[in-house]
Structure 1
């Protein structure tokens, strides 16, 4: 099984003078010489270096205290999650899965071999507690694919101890800078090796970001590109079952689909409708487990708030069993989806759409009028749905109407997010208003779904000869919560309408 650790480190350029004296660094009581380790690492990537382009590294390394397979995923500047797996001749399936959203139908090949002599020092405090590990690495790089170049250099690497305060690295850096040592120009050894071993005639140009948005199409595509990137980047987190990762990926798919529907004058819907249908499928698959998680948390919290006198029968055990069974099944289902040909094809389709967007005539126009008109149209649909729903008597039709209004509020919010860089304050205000409306109506819909679940669980409990009293208590409280939302809605909506100026 692979293990994960959070790696926080900094790299520095070094000449042959070795490591400056660090005994005077605040908090450091001793600098312990741990000897020299011989490391031999082979890095894997696609032939067009997709992992390197995303600052992801996958290697097989021998030597040192952590020999094995290492996959490093970027978290932030100088921070990566390192997933480790035991040594084997081929890439472990779990690690291969975590890079599948990048590799897709491509093949992983050995691209770089790095051999390093690492002179290791431990920085420890008065109690002997490790603060950081410092290594002076003499590196020899050899190109294995896409060239035959070699390179060598020396660098200093400072890695924070597990659970350490990142501010300690600032203290170490001050001492290193004072001694003339400067931060490395390369983010990683692999990045430097790729740059220095590439054939001179084929050395890639530095990656360029799209220019500042100018037209309506530029702004819409900037938003589309950001959501495409979010889906791909969240894939490993979803596979690892990281907190909120499924929710965040689902939101990205919804943002994309909403954008296609909100801006038909910018992007041709004869092309985007088919992509939107696939995004709807993906969101639906991701939502199976997520919806149950939300309901479980809601019902568990409500049960915890009841006094002991109102809890009758094994309701907590039945609720836990229902939640556990659902999570296990949905988890397997999500992993199957992420490994499916349909999902990987969708990612390819999104890449193609970003590379060659199906722009309409309005895409070339100034963005203020085009985007504002689309946002106003979406807001008008929300307005009509809210007012129509509130005209219905409490019950099924009102519940359904408010649910539709909530979905349109999300769409309007996402359209306003797209337009915010152009329209400024009014669009940002609408984003905030729609988020509040979405939250209020979301609480109402959660109450609707909670009551449905309580009815189902109560029927099962009754058939098993258990008391259904507590299910009824919880059901009544959910009815009350929905009524409170419905009472608050007219006032909120009046405020939203009066404050909207787009």
Structure 2
């Protein structure tokens, strides 16, 4: 059970994030608009990050509501991914240097638009079946059977963050050695959850660690851009295989050229991410976060 001061801080963070999500969902057209869909997904993730921090014993029904939020995030995943791919190809189309390049990109966008329409139809069916529980029940005053524990808000906040920092940052240096798109994507998810946790506990800080949050956001962005290109590259290889099988030589050659450009951009992003991965460690996180909370640095264990 969290100490009362931390429980109250987290409940207030929960209130703010739930209000944001409910406000977005109140727009009847949110699922049809690219940016609104993205914002709903982000808001659901932010709310989920707070629910991961609260004491489950204080919130009856928490497990079911957390699972429903995850289902919502997952349901919006493919439409969002295809929206990103479309934006990437549209930007390249706007900069096409030859009619052949433009024709190839238009062909890819036509196929992508069909996939986007199909994904959104599936999403709408999924939303109809989702049946989100009454999330407002999360705002019921939680029970605090043992509120007066002998721990400061700052020590309690650090206890919440320490294990999450170890899980999110503990193996990042190894990921910088060899490119592994799947492992990098999983690391990005963990880093995002850690950043959201720091932001949820903002009121506990004597000095909000803006520099650290900026660094985590930059790493998250680099890994996200890398993931988007890795997924787009896999999609383009599927298209390439189909064009080659059908003997579409001009389109096939154009897709191969585009694949080369995407792969080069992906490798460059990995290089940028690798530099950032190497410096983010649990020890570095502690050296920034503990003083920001007004806590002394922990002594390093003696050899």
TM normalised by structure 1 equals 0.50
Distance 1:258 1:385, change over 3 A: farther
Question: CA–CA distance in 1 between the matches of 2:230 and 2:81?
Answer: 12
Question: CA–CA distance in 1 between the matches of 2:148 and 2:19?
Answer: 22
In structure 1, what is the equivalent of residue 119 of structure 2?
330
Distance 1:330 1:257, change over 3 A: same
> Does 2:35 correspond to 1:244?
yes
The one of 114, 125, 139 aligned to 1:354:
139
Is the CA contact 1:375–1:415 (under 8 Å) kept in the aligned structure 2? Answer: yes
* Residue 354 of structure 1: how far off its partner (Å): 2.0
Question: CA–CA distance in 1 between the matches of 2:200 and 2:116?
Answer: 34
* Residue 369 of structure 1: how far off its partner (Å): 1.5
Q: Does the residue aligned with 1:425 lie in a helix, a strand or coil?
A: coil
Is the CA contact 1:289–1:331 (under 8 Å) kept in the aligned structure 2? Answer: yes
More helix by share: 2
Question: CA–CA distance in 1 between the matches of 2:147 and 2:192?
Answer: 24
Question: CA–CA distance in 1 between the matches of 2:51 and 2:33?
Answer: 28
Q: Does the residue aligned with 2:248 lie in a helix, a strand or coil?
A: coil
In structure 2, what is the equivalent of residue 216 of structure 1?
6
Is the CA contact 2:161–2:198 (under 8 Å) kept in the aligned structure 1? Answer: yes
* Residue deviations 1:313-361 (CA, integer Å, cap 9, x gap): x423322222322332333344444444x334x2x1x222221446685
Q: Does the residue aligned with 1:471 lie in a helix, a strand or coil?
A: helix
Question: CA–CA distance in 1 between the matches of 2:173 and 2:147?
Answer: 32
> Does 2:182 correspond to 1:400?
yes
Question: CA–CA distance in 1 between the matches of 2:144 and 2:212?
Answer: 26
Is the CA contact 1:271–1:358 (under 8 Å) kept in the aligned structure 2? Answer: no
* Residue 495 of structure 1: how far off its partner (Å): 4.9
> Does 2:172 correspond to 1:383?
no
Distance 1:297 1:238, change over 3 A: farther
Question: CA–CA distance in 2 between the matches of 1:485 and 1:402?
Answer: 12
> Does 2:260 correspond to 1:476?
yes
Gaps in structure 2 of 5+ consecutive residues: 290-303
**How many residues align structurally?**
278
* Residue deviations 1:166-200 (CA, integer Å, cap 9, x gap): xxxxxxxxxxxxxxxxxxxxxxxxxxxxxxxxxxx
Is the CA contact 1:451–1:475 (under 8 Å) kept in the aligned structure 2? Answer: yes
* Residue 493 of structure 1: how far off its partner (Å): 3.6
In structure 2, what is the equivalent of residue 256 of structure 1?
47
In structure 1, what is the equivalent of residue 78 of structure 2?
288
Distance 1:326 1:429, change over 3 A: same
> Does 2:236 correspond to 1:454?
yes
In structure 2, what is the equivalent of residue 50 of structure 1?
none
* Residue 441 of structure 1: how far off its partner (Å): 0.5
Question: CA–CA distance in 2 between the matches of 1:248 and 1:469?
Answer: 37
Distance 1:358 1:334, change over 3 A: farther
More strand by share: 1
Question: CA–CA distance in 2 between the matches of 1:319 and 1:475?
Answer: 12
> Does 2:277 correspond to 1:489?
no
Summarize the alignment of residues 25-64 of structure 1 with structure 2, pairs less than 5 Å apart. Answer: none
Is the CA contact 1:267–1:363 (under 8 Å) kept in the aligned structure 2? Answer: no
Question: CA–CA distance in 2 between the matches of 1:323 and 1:294?
Answer: 11
Is the CA contact 2:172–2:280 (under 8 Å) kept in the aligned structure 1? Answer: no
**What is the RMSD computed on CA atoms of the aligned residues?**
2.9
In structure 2, what is the equivalent of residue 202 of structure 1?
none
Question: CA–CA distance in 2 between the matches of 1:360 and 1:252?
Answer: 30
In structure 1, what is the equivalent of residue 89 of structure 2?
299
* Residue 474 of structure 1: how far off its partner (Å): 1.8
Structure whose alpha-carbon radius of gyration is higher:
1
* Residue deviations 1:205-235 (CA, integer Å, cap 9, x gap): xxxxxxxxx8111121122222222222112
* Residue 270 of structure 1: how far off its partner (Å): 8.7
Is the CA contact 1:368–1:422 (under 8 Å) kept in the aligned structure 2? Answer: yes
> Does 2:108 correspond to 1:319?
yes
